[in-house]
Amino acid sequence: MMIKYRVHDVAKDLDVPNKEVLDILGKYVKEPKKHMTALEENELDIVFDRFTQDHAAQNFDAYFATRNAAKAEEKPAGKTAEKPSEKTAKNTQEPKKQNVNNNNNRNKNNDRRNNNGNNRNQNAQQNKPQRPAQNNQPSNNTPAQESASEAPRRRVVDTRTVNVNIDKYNEKYDRLAYDKVKNDTVAAKQKINQKSQRRGKPRSAKRETEAERLNRIAAERKAKAITITVPDEITVGEFALRLKATSAEVIKKLMANGVFATINDTIDFDTAVLIADEFHAKVEKEVVVTIEDRIIDDSEDDDANLVPRAPVVVVMGHVDHGKTSILDAIRHANVTAGEAGGITQHIGAYRVNIDGKDITFLDTPGHAAFTTMRARGAMVTDIAVLVVAADDGIMPQTVEAINHAKAAGVSIIVAINKMDKPAANPDLVKQQLTEYELVPEEWGGDVPCIPVSAHTKMGIDDLLEMILLVAEMKELKANPDRAAKGTVIEARLDKGRGPVATVLVQNGTLHTGDIVVAGTTVGRIRAMMNERGERVKSAGPSVPVEVTGLNEVPVGGDTFNAVSDERLARELVEQRLTEQKEEMFNSQTKVTLDNLFEQMKEGEMKELKVIVKADVQGSVEAVRQSLEKLSNDEVRVHVIHGAVGAISESDVMLANASNAIIVGFNVRPDPVAEENAKRDGVDMRLYRIIYDCIEEIESAMKGMLAPKYREVFLGKAECREVYKITNVGMVIGGHVTSGKIVRGAQVRLVRDGIIVADDKIASLRRFKDDVKEVQDGYDCGITLERFSDIKLGDILEAYEMEEYRD
């Protein structure tokens, strides 16, 4: 389609007023034209020719001079476009240009017209450089032909002859691709190139070897002098890890220092410091922050916060010397008429008030409770009242009580009781006391001796006064303004109230609602009650209260603490329970006939528990009776379970839980039981004759057990066929299921867990050959020396007896 090229278009492209184009046309064309008139081809030629002639440049130099000046002002984008144009201009020699013009002007005019819409502006710009070429080259063609050919020709040449420096771009691409490959994983080709470059080179050239790494770390260590933290004890492996060294390095250094330890062995802090020094590392003691540290306030009290507290008193003495009577007398002496009947509670401790001063008595007479508490690390009492009956004097339990009180470092006050009795001889008691380094005050010593009578209440007040006096001397103090800490005096499970505990607050103040951890129990104090059965909201130092709200019954002597965080408190209790279980598990040594005597000697074994399994009920009973008759003064033999049948998994479980040994008569353990017994260390003794069993256990109890032989298991075979061969007898077609079957070995024939025979292997064959042994997984033919009643499915257990010394 022909695009209309109007006058004003031409004028615009030539960058001249419409009038100039119209004037040219007016000169050469008859018909008058207007600016909207579309021009014919010949008309256009005329315009371009005329226009070219009118605007011709003088020469190329002049053209380029003006061109370069203009270029400086142009945008950079213009530059690239300009370069090729210049080249083209230079290359274009005058005769050549003429030809081009001559040959192509018509076609190019057509091109130009076709591209008219898009290229008008471009044409206008390109027109200017065309002028000098045309000017310098006076053409034989018509002006119209020459000028019309220039613009389209330049445009075409521009794109075709641009000499792109491909190498430069390749170079740039290479650089870009390399960078990208370094950071990313693109440019596959580049990657391949890199890989191929790497091929043939040793890997170590790029990667650090292990030795290099270690050297580097060692150098770093030396340079930096790292500091590590180490607890009291640390395993070699963990220590090496913290040192950033290998275990082998640490073990080597340890050996050099005379310590032979493996990776799992522990070394103490001092050794760790020594070794760390060789690694140029400093060691700091690791402070382990436990849950206790976080929730229990264990800080020392400031003297300024301390206030006097009531003494805590325990009453001790020989049986029937009047401990309970004295405690009752004190309790009643302190009850005013109005309160009579108010004392209905027994909470394990009570307080009396003497002239405005309190005394707390532990209502658990006897040194047993006192000792139990001490054994649990609870230091509860300040003063011990030693009750000695004036008519009886010092007796064995009095001595024990003295020793316990002394060991605990508590002050002793002697109450010489039963003074109302005619046979009372207080001087004798005092005399006896001196024998135990308790010198009465009146004899120049420091032990107050108060004659009392629980019956007549004589001297009770003096006793209480003396307690207060001693307490005063001791300057007992506590800080009521902190979280409570104390000891569980006693505890029980109440049907309606759940766990109930009497606790003695020793420091701080306990409030209802407090979260408390007591040993392995935890809870929020629901209610508190004093010894009068009155509800109280708080209990300060030396105050005994009965509390409810704990999740379990604590143990007397457990320390309790009011804590700050319930969740952590529960976690702490869980932790304590786990530790307790582990401790129990570790401390419990399984009883075996071999260690029975040791355990008896150490007093750990008071009762030998036995589980009896036999093939018939008669044997079970016979064994039970025979064994129980073995009981002596030191140990009682107790058959905790007896039954017929093979030793089962549950027998082993029972033995494990109750620390018993298992005795089997003509029975065998099933495979699971055998495995479990081995794992749990349960002693399983298997006999065929009751007498052997009795003898062995008896000698074990006497420490005489020294078995010289033991059974060594060889292997098991299952009877899969039975053949009867004349002159040979019964032949077992067996399959070895574990270990090996050996010719001449002892063999036990087991049917449904019961031993049906104990015999010897007479012959062993593989196919037709006699063999010495047959391994696991193979079939074989077996004959026994004596037993012939063989059945399919019977198990043959081959074993041999081995002599051994302890």
Ligand X SMILES: Nc1nc2c(ncn2[C@@H]2O[C@H](COP(=O)(O)OP(=O)(O)OP(=O)(O)O)[C@@H](O)[C@H]2O)c(=O)[nH]1
Cβ-Cβ contacts under 8 Å for 508 (sequence gap 6 or more): 478, 479, 480, 481, 482, 483, 484, 485, 540, 541, 562
- Asked if 452 and 385 count as a contact pair (C-beta separation under 8 A), the reply is no
Task: In angstroms, give the least distance from the CB of 516 to ligand X.
Answer: 31
Task: In angstroms, give the least distance from the CB of 455 to ligand X.
Answer: 4
> Which residues, listed in sequence order, are joined to residue 510 by a DSSP beta bridge?
539
Beta carbon nearer to ligand X, 420 or 758? 420
Beta carbon nearer to ligand X, 369 or 673? 369
Distance CA 541, CA 44 (A): 122
Task: In angstroms, give the least distance from the CB of 450 to ligand X.
Answer: 12
Task: In angstroms, give the least distance from the CB of 390 to ligand X.
Answer: 9
29: left (phi over 0), alpha (psi -120 to 50) or beta: beta
Distance CA 186, CA 180 (A): 7
Beta carbon nearer to ligand X, 365 or 440? 365
The closest alpha carbon to 348, from 550, 492, 509, 518, belongs to 492
> Counting beta carbons within 10 angstroms of the beta carbon of residue 337, is it exposed (0 to 12), middle (13 to 18) or buried (19 or more)?
exposed
SS3 445: coil
Task: In angstroms, give the least distance from the CB of 398 to ligand X.
Answer: 11
Beta carbon nearer to ligand X, 331 or 576? 331
Task: In angstroms, give the least distance from the CB of 317 to ligand X.
Answer: 6
Beta carbon nearer to ligand X, 316 or 605? 316
Task: In angstroms, give the least distance from the CB of 270 to ligand X.
Answer: 51
Task: In angstroms, give the least distance from the CB of 563 to ligand X.
Answer: 37
Matching residue, tokens 């309970």: 324
Q: What number of CA atoms fall less than 13 Å from residue 489's CA on the CB side?
A: 27
Alpha-carbon separation of residue 766 from 487, 721, 733, 781 (angstroms):
76, 14, 10, 6
Alpha-carbon separation of residue 373 from 188, 381, 404, 576 (angstroms):
80, 10, 12, 19
> Which residues, listed in sequence order, are joined to residue 312 by a DSSP beta bridge?
360
Which pair of structure tokens corresponds to residue 93?
């020699």
Task: In angstroms, give the least distance from the CB of 804 to ligand X.
Answer: 54
Distance CA 207, CA 652 (A): 58
Task: In angstroms, give the least distance from the CB of 454 to ligand X.
Answer: 4
Q: Amino acid identity of 417? A: N
The closest alpha carbon to 6, from 153, 124, 151, 113, belongs to 113
Beta carbon nearer to ligand X, 424 or 756? 424
For helices 116-136 and 143-161, angle between their N-to-C axes, nearest 10 degrees: 110
Beta carbon nearer to ligand X, 317 or 556? 317
Applying CB under 6 A, the residues found at the interface with ligand X are: 317, 319-325, 365-366, 417-418, 420-421, 453-455
- Give the Cβ contact number of residue 750 at 10 Å: 18
Would the CA dihedral through 453, 454, 456, 460 be positive or negative?
positive
- Give the Cβ contact number of residue 649 at 10 Å: 16
Which pair of structure tokens corresponds to residue 479?
């800080």
Distance CA 490, CA 486 (A): 12
Distance CA 802, CA 725 (A): 34
Task: In angstroms, give the least distance from the CB of 366 to ligand X.
Answer: 6
- Asked if 549 and 524 count as a contact pair (C-beta separation under 8 A), the reply is yes
Beta carbon nearer to ligand X, 392 or 615? 392
In order, the DSSP letters of 654-696 are: HHHHHTEEEEEESB-B-HHHHHHHHHHT--EEEESSHHHHHHH
Distance CA 599, CA 484 (A): 42
Beta carbon nearer to ligand X, 324 or 592? 324
- Asked if 107 and 113 count as a contact pair (C-beta separation under 8 A), the reply is no
Beta carbon nearer to ligand X, 157 or 330? 330
Distance CA 45, CA 53 (A): 12
Distance CA 18, CA 33 (A): 11
In order, the DSSP letters of 225-266 are: --EEEE-SEEEHHHHHHHHTS-HHHHHHHHHHTT----TTSE
Which pair of structure tokens corresponds to residue 283?
């060691």
Beta carbon nearer to ligand X, 489 or 610? 489
Beta carbon nearer to ligand X, 256 or 319? 319
Looking at residue 302, what DSSP letter applies?
P
Task: In angstroms, give the least distance from the CB of 327 to ligand X.
Answer: 8
Beta carbon nearer to ligand X, 154 or 323? 323
- Known binding residues for GTP: 317-324, 363-367, 417-420
Looking at residue 301, what DSSP letter applies?
P
Task: In angstroms, give the least distance from the CB of 601 to ligand X.
Answer: 32
Beta carbon nearer to ligand X, 365 or 557? 365
SS3 27: helix
- Containing 75, the helix (H) or strand (E) segment is none
Task: In angstroms, give the least distance from the CB of 494 to ligand X.
Answer: 24
Looking at residue 480, what DSSP letter applies?
S
- Known binding residues: 317-324, 363-367, 417-420
Task: In angstroms, give the least distance from the CB of 452 to ligand X.
Answer: 7
Beta carbon nearer to ligand X, 153 or 321? 321
